Each structure stands twice: as structure tokens, then as C-alpha cells.
Structure 1
Amino acid sequence: MTWEIFNAIGTIAFAISGAIVALEEEYDILGVYVLGMVTAFGGGAIRNLLIGVPVSALWDQGLLFLMAILVITVVFLFPLRALKQWKRWGTFTDAIGLSTFAILGALYAAEMNHPLSATIIAALLTGSGGGMLRDVLAGRKPVVLREDIYGLWAMLAGLLIGVGAVNQTWGLYVLFVAIVILRMMTVHYKWRLPHRTIKQQEDVSV
């Protein structure tokens, strides 16, 4: 039951996130559906390739596909005035999707007895893979590759599950909430990872 709940939560959150980004970029209805579906299922496809699960396993998630299509349709038909207010929650739904799929990716890898490194990478790619594909298709810089702390929280989930620190149902729910909170605190307090640039600084001297 925990598995299905996390899968449903993550699928809905990322489908909404992808659809909203598509509307922001003024995509047509096909673009909205494509971006929503890619965001919702792209991370799982990347994870399956990584840990050896047949990619065709995605097609066994018929109910989740229908759920994602329904959610994307609702977003597309939502009143534009209300959607402008909803955009404020885009980061929140993205944080929910990140947390949910990071946990699912780590659980997949752990149950297949993969090493800790694979569990961490599975969490990272499952949690952020859909978002990366979404940003690339939308012509944006992927959030996970910028100094903004995004993928690190997914890796933390993979680490805790990989070492066995979190393996009970209640612990998974606590971890889910913690990752969402950490991601939202990152946005609110503008936490950043160290970064450097080799771009030439503009000469502002007169």
C-alpha cells in the first residue's frame, strides 16, 4: 500500500508540475500533455535503465497513466486567473514529486540488493530525472544542475534508505515530509551549493 501511495502522489505532483511549466512556456495542448507525461514518468524510465528493470515495465502502470492524463486535463482546463495563483504552488508540487520519487527509486534499488552507490544514484535520477527532461524540453536550465540545492536532498533519501536507517513504513513517511520541508526551506532561504564560473566579468569601470 505504501508503494502505491507514494507512486500516486509522485505521479500527480510531477504531472501538475510539467503541465504548469508547459503553460508558462505557452505550449499547445499536445505540448502540455507531452511535458506533463514526461515529467511524471521520465524519472522512472531513467531509473529502470540504471538498475536493470525493463523499460517496458512502465507500460504496466495503466492506472497511473490515466491518473496523469486526468490531472493534466484538469490543469489545462483550469481558469487562467486561478492558474496564475496556482503557479505559486509549483515549487511545492515539484518538491513533493522530488521527495516521492527519490524514495521510490531508492527502494527499488535496495530491494534489488544493489550497492549503496546505486541506491543513491537511483534516488537522484528517479527524483530529478523527470524534472530534468521537463526543463530541457521547456528550454530551461535543469534545476538539479544549478547551484540551487535540489538533487542533494534526493541523494540524502537514497543514502538513508541504502544504509538501512529508514526501512519502516512510518520512517518512509517521515523521510518524505522531511525532504519536502528541506526543499521548500532551500527555496525560501535561497540555500546554494558552492559554485564557480569562468565567464568573463563585465568591466563596469567608467
Structure 2
Amino acid sequence: MPEWIYFFDLCGTAVFALSGALAAGRHKMDPFGVIVLASVTAVGGGSIRDTLMGATPVFWINDPTYIIVILSTVLLTILLVRKPKRVPQKVLPIADALGLALFTIIGAEKALSMGLSGMSAVIMGLITGVGGGIIRDILCRQVPMVLRTEIYATASIAGGIGYTCSLSFGMADLSAMFLAMSTAFAIRLAAITWHLSLPAFDLRSQKPK
């Protein structure tokens, strides 16, 4: 893995660990609960991705730096964010949006590096981006964001498609990565800011004939 991709991967790990730690604080979990929630949020999606692609042992087992980043993020969050309820409400979704954008492209890049097709790369990017958040939300007894009407998975898919298409058109790796991450992050941020959502499939609203 190129050093710059590894750097972004660690940044995404820290961002998602922060997202999980803040979610744990809002649910009044103890320090062990914060570590667990931060960890599954940060490495859950990548673990599922590596398992599906047969890249085992999964990445964080081979490289303990990821665990160090998670534990450091948790420690700083516990020490610096003493009152999670006082943290602005948009901090958690914005941190989650940034992690989504970073991990989507990391997942797609790893799939392409293993010789998978562009479509498979988009799917692996999606799994990497949303997998940890799904586990986090389930542990918090919430419906995962990816299953609600919020524009979440759509942003990840758009980023993955943008990355694979940019590379196929000959764009440099770093430029393609920044463009795709910006696209995914901007779409998710717009959905948060203007409360954009997809139409719900609601059978209850249909009147029986």
C-alpha cells in the first residue's frame, strides 16, 4: 500500500473511532464500551471487506498501528470531551461523513489493487464505508443510517463510482482519490445541511382496495 493511501487509511480510522466514541458517550457507556464501539466503527467495514475478498488475516491484525490509533482517539475523546451532550449535534454526523468518504475510496482502491472489477470495487468501497457504522448503530439499538431514507449509502456509491471512473479515464491516483472523496463528502454534507433524503417505501400509506 502506498504511503499516502496508508496515511489516509489511518486518518479514516481516527475519524470513525471518534464517531464511535461520541456515539458511546451519548449513550452513557463505560470506558470499555467506548473502546468497543469506537473499534467496531473504525475497523468493522474494513474487516468485512477483507474477509469477503479473502485478504486474511484482516488488515488491523497484521498492523497494530490501527489499534494504537483507535485507543489514542478514544483516550483523547474521553479526556477532552467531558460532556458529550454539549458537543454540537452536527459534530457526530460530520465526522461520520468524513469517515464515510475516506473509507469508501480506501475500500475501492484495495479492491482494484487486488484485480477486482470496477463494479466490485464500488461495492467493496460501500461495504468499507458503511459497515462499521451499521455495527455501531445496531449496538446502540438504532436503525442503521444506511437503512433509513437519509442519503448515506448513495454518497458512498457516488464516491466509489467517481473514483473508478476517474482512474479509467487516466486521472492520477491522488487526484482521483481527492475528487472522489470530495464528491462523497459533499453529497453527505449537503444531505445533513439541507435534510435531504430519499423517498421512503411505505406500504402503510397505501389504502386497501
Instruction: Give the TM-score taking structure 1 as reference length.
Output: 0.90
Q: What is the match of residue 75 of structure 2?
A: 73
Q: Distance in 2 between matches of 1:183 and 1:113?
A: 29
Instruction: Choose 164-173 or 122-131, whichever is displaced more.
Output: 164-173
Pairing of 1:4-15 with structure 2 (within 5 A): 4-15=6-17
Pairing of 1:158-173 with structure 2 (within 5 A): 158-163=160-165, 164-165=168-169, 167-173=172-178
Q: What is the match of residue 47 of structure 2?
A: 45
Does 2:185 align with 1:180?
yes
Q: Distance in 1 between matches of 2:136 and 2:128?
A: 13
SS of residue paired to 2:55: coil
Q: 1:172 to 1:56 in 2, by over 3 A?
A: closer
Q: What is the match of residue 126 of structure 2?
A: 124
RMSD: 1.8
1:58-95 deviation digits (Å, cap 9, x = unpaired): 21221121011011111122243476225431111101
Q: 1:83 to 1:68 in 2, by over 3 A?
A: farther
Pairing of 1:54-73 with structure 2 (within 5 A): 54-73=56-75
Q: Distance in 2 between matches of 1:79 and 1:142?
A: 24
Q: Distance in 1 between matches of 2:156 and 2:70?
A: 22
What is the number of equivalent residue pairs in this alignment?
201
Q: 1:82 to 1:124 in 2, by over 3 A?
A: closer
| Identity fraction in percent | 28
1:148-185 deviation digits (Å, cap 9, x = unpaired): 01011111222223332455212312322232122111
Q: What is the match of residue 34 of structure 1?
A: 36
Show structure 1 runs of 5+ residues with no match: 202-206
Q: Distance in 1 between matches of 2:85 and 2:7?
A: 26
Q: What is the match of residue 137 of structure 2?
A: 135
Instruction: Choose 162-171 or 184-193, whichever is displaced more.
Output: 162-171
Instruction: Give the TM-score taking structure 2 as reference length.
Output: 0.89
Q: What is the match of residue 148 of structure 1?
A: 150
